[in-house]
Amino acid sequence: MIKDPIKINILFFGASFFATSILKGLIENNYNIISVVTQKEESEKKSSFLTVRKVAQEKKINVFTIEKFNEKSIKQIEDLKPDLIIVASYGKIIPQKVLDIPGFGIINVHPSLLPKFRGPSPIQNAILEGEEETGSTIILMNEKMDEGDILDQKKISFSPEETYPELLQRISQLSSELLLKTIPLWVRREITPQKQDETKATYCQLIERLDGKINWSENAQEIFNRFRAFLPWPGVFTYWQKNDSLLRMKIHQMKILENYEKIFLEKFQEGEVFSSEEKIVVKTGEGAIVLEEIQMEGKNKIKADDFLNGYPDFIGTVLR
């Protein structure tokens, strides 16, 4: 904990679990948070949005939302007289008129190794792409998405089994520590911002519910990466053609089939369900996936062996 932080007025923008961790770190280290800007209440369908608001309110910090950056909302920010604005997973592009308000500019905390994975879903995309390391970057914001000059950056390694919630937790902690290290150095002008290498820039998009659909022609690692990246939302799912009904199945737990004979898998087609050593297994484009916990639409999730007791005809079908 920083006992004697630099005395500056900070306005915080954020709306996610990641943002909550950053805000908590600032509060716990005695920084003066004059207000918190989060997303409008109508959008707060997930508890992560409410958490930012709740943390601020518990500390009696003023919280408000900005539906649109216009004359009124920009004046509201100006009247707060922030020395520095910190942004973490806010979800909106901030216009130049706001960027020009604080004397120390606007710092953005982004959970990737910029310029890689610019955009709203960098942690999920690092997992989807089969990366072995990612990290956090502190940038001085400009009007473009995640293109500002870099103030500091730190890497973190992760395993091929680590899921999004697990990696999010670690990157949030890493990012908070990195920000707390960066603020005093930046305020004392002891950091020289570095341009991003545009030739190495990659981008990611908002994740949607349908992104969770499994493509059984992908290899087993790619499918498992999708499962890891999309926990808890949107999750991964597939379809089972049972007689005349197309049933949606959500897969809550899975793993890659190991120690198999390649020639053994060749007799199955992609998406075909078979049994191996009392496991429910699905053939993929390369390798196979073991299903461990399944949920039929409108039903409770159950272990795979219990599912098979209720649906013995599942073996031999081809998932879509």
The tens digit of pLDDT for each residue in 7-33 reads 999 999 999 899 999 999 999 999 999
C-alpha to C-alpha distance for 211 and 193, rounded to whole angstroms? 36
For residue 172, what pLDDT band results from cuts at 50, 70 and 90? very high
Contact 49, 39 (CB under 8 A): yes
Residues 92 and 227 reside in one and the same domain: no
Whole-number mean pLDDT of the chain?
94
Domain boundary among 160, 182, 200: 200
Residues 65 and 43 reside in one and the same domain: yes
Residues 230 and 119 reside in one and the same domain: no
Residues 186 and 71 reside in one and the same domain: yes
C-alpha to C-alpha distance for 99 and 105, rounded to whole angstroms? 6
For residue 47, what pLDDT band results from cuts at 50, 70 and 90? very low
Residue 320 lies in a domain: no
Residues 149 and 271 reside in one and the same domain: no
Query: Residue 278's domain is classified under what CATH number?
Result: 3.10.25.10
Contact 36, 62 (CB under 8 A): yes
Q: What is the pLDDT of residues 174-211, one digit of tens each?
A: 999 999 999 999 999 999 999 999 999 999 989 999 99
> Per-residue pLDDT averaged across 268-282, rounded?
94
Residues 196 and 69 reside in one and the same domain: yes
Residue 3 lies in a domain: no
C-alpha to C-alpha distance for 235 and 229, rounded to whole angstroms? 8
Residues 177 and 272 reside in one and the same domain: no
Residues 138 and 224 reside in one and the same domain: no
Q: Give the pairing type, strands 84-88 and 9-14.
A: parallel
Domain boundary among 154, 180, 200: 200
- 3-state percent helix, strand, coil for the chain, nearest multiple of 5: 30, 30, 40
Decide which of 47 and 216 is more confident: 216
Contact 140, 152 (CB under 8 A): no
Domain residue limits at 304: 209-314
Residues 291 and 232 reside in one and the same domain: yes
Contact 234, 226 (CB under 8 A): no
Q: How many CB atoms lie within 10 A of CB 75?
A: 9
Bridge partners of 293, per DSSP, are 253, 303
Residues 141 and 252 reside in one and the same domain: no
> Could you tell me which of 98, 33, 96 has the C-alpha nearest to residue 59?
33
One-letter amino acid of 27? I
Residues 57 and 149 reside in one and the same domain: yes
Domain boundary among 159, 175, 200: 200
Residues 54 and 166 reside in one and the same domain: yes
The whole-number pLDDT of residue 6 equals 80
> Per-residue pLDDT averaged across 270-289, rounded?
95
How many domains, in total, are found in the chain?
Answer: 2
